[in-house]
Amino acid sequence: MWFSAPTQTFASESLDFQLASISTLPINLSSQLSTSAAPNSALVAALHELSTTKPPIRNKLESVLQTLVEERPSTKGAQNVRGVDKVMQEEIVARAVTMIWKEVLDQLMEVARELESERRYWENVLNSQLGVGVYFVQTLPQRVLRALPPKDTFSVRSFTSLQTSSLFPHSPSAAISTLLSPYTLTRREVLRSFKAVTRARDLVATRIGILATRGPRWTSEKLEEETERIFGVIADVLEIPDRSDSSGPGLTVAPYTLLDVLKKDLPRSKEHVKTALEQHARPGRLTRLWFPLLFLPPMLYFTISTIGRNGPWLRQQLGNAKETIRGFFVSWVWEPLEGIGKTLRGGGEGLGVAPTTVKSDQASLERMVMDLGRDYYHLSGAELENLGRQVKEGDMDAVLKVYEKELQSPVKNALLGYLVRTLLIQVQKTKTDLSLSLLSLDHLLRSQQLTFAFVGVAPSVLILYGVGGWLRGFWRGEQRGKSRRKTYFYGLRDIERLLLVAPKKGEEMSVQDRGLLIVAVSGLRSWARGMGATQDAFLDDLRLVEDPQLSRGTKLRAVERIWRSWGHDGRQRP
């Protein structure tokens, strides 16, 4: 997962589409060029920067707007610009306000995800009796420190006189606090934080819904009117005060106005939400872990002492593991692959049987049989040549007849006859047949050497392939097991629940519910980062769910399609 590119957000995809829509709008400059001088170089450079294939980042956008403001410090709105410069500035402002819309939406989405994460934390604490008790133990040191008097008035008596109500400063009534148990007071405190975070999340989700529903729609040539409308939406969401210029009614959308939004209004809105988030955020990491950390020193001591007592055995096991891994790669991977390379370069290696040896044995056998035929059968000429051809074909009938006849008087013929000679001829025949068999086997081994080499290396290659696939899936997030499957299951389940229970007028959803839906889908967008080749198909289904233009019924059908196509764990392939 660490080496795979993150998936695009809803705002980024919408920005790419809207900027492409601006580029396709027909703009007629002929009537402007006749009364205008050469176009302003700063406007040309700014338009070029904002028209690239990859939209500029926020810092680059600020730099472009700052350049325009410094270039034309006396300009108080687009209505004071004439000619081709006005047309260019209209497109620049249109592109810039679209990018700012994306920045605002991304910022709200980031805050909404953080609020949702905190809300789920408080919800998990509330749903578990053990969770409330653990939270009380985690925050107990902080409660005691807050309840202690100042250092100049601190005493043992003041410490021992601490009451339960002093440990819960957010309790609405000190009198009631003295009657309730610490567990109940802790649960009330958790519930208070849960409700506050939920309200903040709903407020941010409403703003997200407004931005998504009333976002840019560059479908006409009236750039100025659409720019004013989009800026009005951004101003409503960020609660920007009216900055209308005295020279004309309504909002004045100019580079300096947009620059103020980026540098002042957007950070101010983020800080406002961050302040509310920090007041009801989960305890810090050290607060949550202080109690387990108490057991860390004895655990470290036990671990180190165990390692010290078993040091030689552990070193031996590490050495064995090292040798095992090295032997696997050298003996079962590298050497077989090296053998395959040698086979491809120079051919295979057989049994080392030379064809000349087989020919010599065959020729010797022929000569021995022909000599026997000349001495025993008194053959000559054509008959002797015919006997030689029979031996080449493997016909030893003439020799076997002599051998059978000589066996009638074995002792006599062994001394005075041809019995020993026929036996030696048969030994030579056996040697020749063995040489021929070995030569055939040698040819077979040479022809199948590459096959044998691949068969030998196949198990180790399969092991490496499996381990490599597991590691690749681990880095991409596919092997996070149960937690990953739970993220998909509960994420899609929350989306379906939003579509089922959202207040509706006919098939329409409220702005807040649309924002909550987009936030919920953003979690699955991040989850899809580890899907690999099927990621694009899954994102196409998610786009149907988060599209503000589709009805609630259509979105429900899209969710049913996701369940059907991707299963209940997200691993089913279409």
Q: What is the DSSP string of 199-260?
A: HHHHHHHHHHHHHHHT-----SS-HHHHHHHHHHHHHHHHTPPP---TTSSS----HHHHHH
* Residues 228, 212: Cα–Cα separation, whole Å: 17
3-state DSSP helix/strand/coil percent for the chain, to nearest 5? Answer: 75, 0, 25
DSSP states along 305-353: HHHHHTHHHHHHHHHHHHHHHHHHHIIIIIHHHHHHHHHHHH-------
Contacts (Cβ under 8 Å, ≥6 apart) of 106: 9, 11, 12
- For 282, the token pair is 């989960």
For the ranges 59-63, 173-177, 252-256, the maximum mean pLDDT occurs at 59-63
508 residue type, one letter:
E
| pLDDT at residue number 481 | 61
Higher-pLDDT residue of 368 and 246 is 368
* Residues 425, 432: Cα–Cα separation, whole Å: 10
* Residues 281, 465: Cα–Cα separation, whole Å: 45
Does position 532 have pLDDT exceeding 80, yes or no?
Answer: no
CA angle 318, 320, 322 (to 5 degrees): 70
491 residue type, one letter:
G
Judge whether 485 and 176 are in contact, CB under 8 Å.
no
Does position 480 have pLDDT exceeding 80, yes or no?
Answer: no
| pLDDT at residue number 112 | 92
Judge whether 109 and 208 are in contact, CB under 8 Å.
yes
Percentage of residues in the chain with pLDDT exceeding 70? 79
* Residues 237, 542: Cα–Cα separation, whole Å: 25
Q: What is the mean pLDDT of residues 459-485?
A: 73
| pLDDT at residue number 102 | 93
Question: Residue 508 — φ and ψ, nearest 5°?
Answer: -90, 150
DSSP label at 1?
Answer: -
| pLDDT at residue number 74 | 43
| pLDDT at residue number 77 | 44
* Residues 259, 108: Cα–Cα separation, whole Å: 19
Q: What is the mean pLDDT of residues 389-409?
A: 84
- The distance in angstroms from the start CA to the end CA of the chain is 22
User: Any bridge partners for residue 505, and if so which?
Assistant: 508
419 residue type, one letter:
L
pLDDT tens track for 305-337: 888 888 888 888 888 998 888 888 888 888 888
Higher-pLDDT residue of 344 and 520 is 520
Query: Using 50, 70 and 90 to split pLDDT, how confident is the model at 2?
Result: very low
At 146 the three-state DSSP class reads helix
Question: How far from the centroid of its chain's Cα atoms is residue 347's Cα?
Answer: 44
Query: Using 50, 70 and 90 to split pLDDT, how confident is the model at 120?
Result: very high
| pLDDT at residue number 154 | 52
| pLDDT at residue number 520 | 93
pTM (global) more than 0.95: no
DSSP label at 4?
Answer: S
Q: What is the mean pLDDT of residues 474-483?
A: 60
Contacts (Cβ under 8 Å, ≥6 apart) of 548: 209, 212, 213, 215, 514
Question: How far from the centroid of its chain's Cα atoms is residue 118's Cα?
Answer: 25
Does position 398 have pLDDT exceeding 50, yes or no?
Answer: yes
pLDDT tens track for 350-389: 555 677 777 888 888 888 888 888 888 887 888 888 888 8
Return the beta strands (E) in 409-568 as ranges. Answer: 504-505, 508-509
Does position 462 have pLDDT exceeding 70, yes or no?
Answer: yes
pLDDT tens track for 185-197: 888 888 989 999 9
Sign of CA dihedral 95, 97, 103, 109: negative
| pLDDT at residue number 463 | 86
* Residues 466, 486: Cα–Cα separation, whole Å: 25
- For 317, the token pair is 């096991």
